[in-house]
Structure 1
């Protein structure tokens, strides 16, 4: 039987209407502090006024329901207000990584066909060059300064937030935000997330309530779901958020001390830095109460070291852009330390046999599949991907291997496409990494399978030493002492300076595979 989380009542309200109602409710309280701009802040009332000015301007330019408007920026107060303003016009937010090269942006825009693009000042020339390839672009507006194009400051100075026209939204079908997948299994796909997806996510019980002492910290890029979805959730819940553009351990500590941050959300590389750094002793971090991390399984030993070192609660989470949050929970013991938290309210989960697609018994590894109002309606202009993503009963295939127990704790083993196939058995890179990273002389690690004629694939570890006395034999030894024989590192161990990772902290195994083939 599938595991069904607690029922959640999803209100029949558009995402922007929900946000606007909350902004009016919270009024003059500080909503967001931009630590990258010397602590410039904005109140909920100011967000309400600014976002509605953007809506009014877009409507004056003929933007209507279903049009796409792109934001090519890393993150700023303007990004948040633009996002809400675009939604208010009934248009679709199309976030875009400003660091992308022209061909990468063309690939995204060829799907979304945005009519207006808001861009960071530093990428104006790239955006100008796009207009020959993407003929849908009618207007470029700059976040920053420009003599050639209109700026967001000019819009705010002349638009009237009282002239907003209400737009009827079909919660089930109208798209609110269209982020792109990371492209780990092919070209990035454009994910259609409806208003209901995000309203449903906002309707679940959050792990903190509205309390002035709760101050969140966000250094994830706003074009990524780990950025924009967190800021939306915090805004709806009335949680003050400190925004920072740099993902830097010193900046994290400085901002915790300066703004009395109480909880931080970390990508896996930041967790490693938290464990290994000694600079934490220079700062007053007593306000920090919670560290939350997702994106990859963490070794229980690492979690315990963070809890002990910073005197905090640790929360594990499992999410993906297509579903928002899947599971989350506080780590209290070794079992919960190995899990990705509990299945959250409003979501059903089952696991299926990879070969037969039959449902697996509770506690048995299989492909994790989910159903929820928070699940994407599909991928835009990609029927092949949609057919592969959903089964006949509407379950979304996550592509992750794992299981859940009778209490709803979720255990993610690995990505199905990343499992190493040694002879007739499967070996999880994540399991090997969690063992190797527990060695006190290891700073970071990435594991892949390398081709072998007789065995199919052999596990190989790329290791970043934290101590120059670490030897290859040390790495082999910790694996052999903790894991069954077929999981041993027959593909070898190689010491490297860094492990290649994406902006969201995921190991880029394709890069490691390329490194292995060049040896």
Structure 2
């Protein structure tokens, strides 16, 4: 990575040094570094011609496409910011994000053209809609109409150039202001720990509205490595790309890995080029992890991170993916902080550090942190302390060896008879039962204990869940006060567009008309 302090300059420097090397592949197309930078500079020229000024926002509503990265880097060059919209959102939420960002240009993929036509009058800040790809592509003509503009806005380290929205499980999402300083620090820190360099070939399969997509792509570009991008993370397509492109690094979520393990020839695939398979963003069921360890021995890295920190803050490396008696407990760990990151566990009420092994809230301090939430100073002040610590909202603890364990969101913690119970710990046990396909644990009212754990279970295909048997099973693996006191069986868990379980919806009917500290 060069010594430049903004992303657009770094990519331009690499293009000058290695103009004919491949920067990015997308199915049957590829672009050299010189071609990639020319397209970025045409995008920058088009933004300026449209009257955009530093600080303005554009938005992208599309499945993965190279144009989104080109737009993000053009924003870095012009001083604008790309607000990438979660395409899984419902129309009212899409309207909210575009209006919240005050986007002036909206780039739209063919799958979402109809939806945008229906909401067009409800997004008044958008002056121009540019259709990307498909039969009605306007993006290529939009680029071609302008000569490349090499001028760079003198960006400050804390200027935002990409605005990613949090998932919003308890309300509307917030726009995290991700900066040059934050993204470059993330790129440097992750590349150091994961040995990602100019010769690496990196698969970008996760959606670009997520840090697992955009941040992963940007850190790859910062190292001068080659990106191979998928439009959608189809399990067979992921396998095919791993083999065909000789991928060295990838990041995949547990749900996708679970479907990949079901592909009939999974264990016969040639992944000998792969050096690091990172997974995270949601808990990894141990049965799926054990399958992955057989298929990707010595290559698995669990990563823990957050949008507000530009991505990864801790990692559990291959050496700790070991089921030997002395290490097996670490498979439930988020590992140790990566290079350039501090982590502590604090009392969520007082902000004071808690003893080793004691539960609390995970706090993070690093140059990777966001500048704050877009136009939400109160939320920013609540999230980031005056001395630079991010309150993650995640409950957890640190063991005597310095490994961090993420137990649950603080707001999902169950307080039963004065004991703090983290649902994720119970869920990890219950999902191992052969009759269980999916599970969420919530706190429900109890006259004696205040609240007690209840398991909401989705049966595995062809299986019947016996509540008494499941409760007895939990008692074999958990302290009695942590075991669910009842079981409800449903067909499907409610989830938000990012796939996170909406526990507030599950709790609602039980807490109606009651007061509850944690909502």
Kept in 2: contact 1:274–1:306 (CA 8 A): no
**Distance 1:302-1:72 versus aligned 2 partners, 3 A rule:** closer
TM-score of the aligned structures, taking structure 1 as reference length? 0.87
Kept in 1: contact 2:60–2:107 (CA 8 A): yes
- C-alpha displacement at 1:319, in angstroms? 0.5
Q: Distance in 2 between matches of 1:88 and 1:362?
A: 45
Written as runs of structure 1 = structure 2, the 5 A alignment for 1:328-343 is 328-331=315-318, 332=320, 333-343=327-337
Q: Which runs of 5+ in 2 are unaligned?
A: 321-326, 513-519
Q: Distance in 1 between matches of 2:20 and 2:143?
A: 19
**Distance 1:100-1:358 versus aligned 2 partners, 3 A rule:** closer
**Distance 1:140-1:369 versus aligned 2 partners, 3 A rule:** same
1:184 lines up with 2:169 in the alignment = yes
**Distance 1:81-1:445 versus aligned 2 partners, 3 A rule:** same
Higher RCO structure, 1 or 2 (CA under 8 Å, sep 6+): 1
1:25 lines up with 2:10 in the alignment = no
- C-alpha displacement at 1:452, in angstroms? 3.3
- C-alpha displacement at 1:474, in angstroms? 4.1
Q: Distance in 2 between matches of 1:330 and 1:146?
A: 45
**Distance 1:67-1:501 versus aligned 2 partners, 3 A rule:** same
1:378 lines up with 2:372 in the alignment = yes
- C-alpha displacement at 1:514, in angstroms? 5.9
Q: Distance in 1 between matches of 2:389 and 2:270?
A: 47
1:45 corresponds, among 34, 58, 71, to 34
Written as runs of structure 1 = structure 2, the 5 A alignment for 1:305-344 is 305-324=291-310, 325-331=312-318, 332=320, 333-344=327-338
Kept in 2: contact 1:68–1:112 (CA 8 A): yes
Q: Distance in 2 between matches of 1:275 and 1:493?
A: 29
1:263-283 per-residue CA deviation (whole Å, 9 max, x = no partner) reads 432212223334555442464
Q: Distance in 2 between matches of 1:247 and 1:472?
A: 35
1:157 corresponds, among 137, 141, 144, to 144
1:494 lines up with 2:489 in the alignment = yes
Q: Distance in 2 between matches of 1:517 and 1:360?
A: 31
Q: Distance in 2 between matches of 1:68 and 1:46?
A: 25
Kept in 1: contact 2:198–2:223 (CA 8 A): no
**Distance 1:144-1:271 versus aligned 2 partners, 3 A rule:** closer
1:400 corresponds, among 381, 394, 397, to 394
- Which region of structure 1 is more displaced relative to structure 2, 223-232 or 246-255? 246-255
- Which region of structure 1 is more displaced relative to structure 2, 216-225 or 371-380? 216-225
1:104-150 per-residue CA deviation (whole Å, 9 max, x = no partner) reads 22212332211212112343344355554443222111112576xx8
Describe the SS at the equivalent of 2:355: coil
Q: Distance in 1 between matches of 2:300 and 2:469?
A: 29
Q: Distance in 2 between matches of 1:417 and 1:11?
A: 41
1:388 lines up with 2:409 in the alignment = no
- C-alpha displacement at 1:302, in angstroms? 4.4
**Distance 1:238-1:298 versus aligned 2 partners, 3 A rule:** same
Q: Distance in 1 between matches of 2:494 and 2:232?
A: 18
1:482 lines up with 2:477 in the alignment = yes
1:231 corresponds, among 217, 239, 257, to 217
**Distance 1:447-1:26 versus aligned 2 partners, 3 A rule:** farther
Describe the SS at the equivalent of 1:31: strand
Q: Distance in 2 between matches of 1:457 and 1:179?
A: 36
**Distance 1:430-1:26 versus aligned 2 partners, 3 A rule:** farther
**Distance 1:472-1:10 versus aligned 2 partners, 3 A rule:** farther
1:510 lines up with 2:497 in the alignment = no
1:138 lines up with 2:123 in the alignment = no
- C-alpha displacement at 1:505, in angstroms? 4.2
Describe the SS at the equivalent of 2:194: coil
Written as runs of structure 1 = structure 2, the 5 A alignment for 1:85-104 is 85-104=74-93
Which residue of structure 2 aligns with residue 432 of structure 1?
A: 426
Q: Distance in 2 between matches of 1:479 and 1:11?
A: 54
**Distance 1:143-1:17 versus aligned 2 partners, 3 A rule:** same
Describe the SS at the equivalent of 2:103: coil
**Distance 1:485-1:363 versus aligned 2 partners, 3 A rule:** closer
What RMSD over aligned residues (CA atoms) do the two structures have, in Å? 2.8
Q: Distance in 1 between matches of 2:352 and 2:229?
A: 45
Q: Which runs of 5+ in 1 are unaligned?
A: 1-8
Q: Distance in 1 between matches of 2:185 and 2:95?
A: 32
1:124 corresponds, among 113, 134, 144, to 113
- C-alpha displacement at 1:451, in angstroms? 3.2
1:281-317 per-residue CA deviation (whole Å, 9 max, x = no partner) reads 4644444443311123435564333212443421111
Q: Distance in 2 between matches of 1:466 and 1:282?
A: 26
Kept in 2: contact 1:250–1:279 (CA 8 A): no
- C-alpha displacement at 1:202, in angstroms? 1.5
Kept in 2: contact 1:353–1:366 (CA 8 A): yes
- Which region of structure 1 is more displaced relative to structure 2, 131-140 or 85-94? 131-140
